[in-house]
């Protein structure tokens, strides 16, 4: 089963207060953790995302695109990035999600199975 792990960074992706409070050694450990996660068999690394304020939302009404600034969905936590993980089961995906530093630094990781279209 393929899972998408959506990484949430607290209330704002722009809020660096948690990161700034880490020592240089702790910051290097976070980098090392993300590197190790990206090297895990079955992981397809994603990318970090820019702030929600930079988003553009597209809807189609009456056959014409309607473009607005900002995110469509109002969420409590800022989405900071994502990755995909091919795993045997949900428990394996949860175990990987628990290794993602954002989950222990005030954020969360949403684990969602993907669909075949």
DSSP 88: S
- Per-residue pLDDT tens over the stretch 31-62: 999 999 999 999 999 888 887 778 888 889 99
φ/ψ of 93, rounded to 5, equals -65, -40
Question: What DSSP assignment string belongs to 38-84?
Answer: HTSTTEEEEEE---GGG-EEEEEETTEEEEEES-SS--SS-EEEEEE
Q: Which residue has the tokens 């669909």?
A: 115
pLDDT class of 72 with cuts at 50, 70, 90: low
Give the domain range for residue 18: 2-113
Which CATH number goes with the domain that contains 11? 3.30.70.1060
Residue 88 pLDDT > 60, yes or no? yes
Q: What is the mean pLDDT of residues 14-33?
A: 89
Number of domains comprising the chain: 1
SS3 helix, strand, coil % of the chain, rounded to 5? 30, 35, 35
What's the mean per-residue pLDDT of the chain?
87
């Amino acid at each position: 089963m393929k899972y998408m792990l959506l990484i949430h960074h607290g209330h704002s992706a722009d809020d660096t207060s948690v990161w700034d409070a880490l020592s240089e050694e702790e910051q290097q450990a976070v980098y090392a953790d993300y590197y190790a996660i990206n090297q895990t068999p079955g992981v397809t690394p994603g990318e970090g995302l820019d702030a929600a304020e930079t988003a553009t939302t597209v809807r189609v009404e009456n056959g014409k695109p309607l473009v607005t600034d900002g995110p469509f969905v109002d969420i409590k936590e800022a989405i900071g990035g994502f990755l995909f993980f091919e795993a045997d089961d949900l428990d394996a995906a949860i175990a990987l999600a628990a290794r993602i530093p954002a989950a222990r630094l005030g954020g969360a990781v949403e684990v969602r199975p993907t669909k075949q279209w």
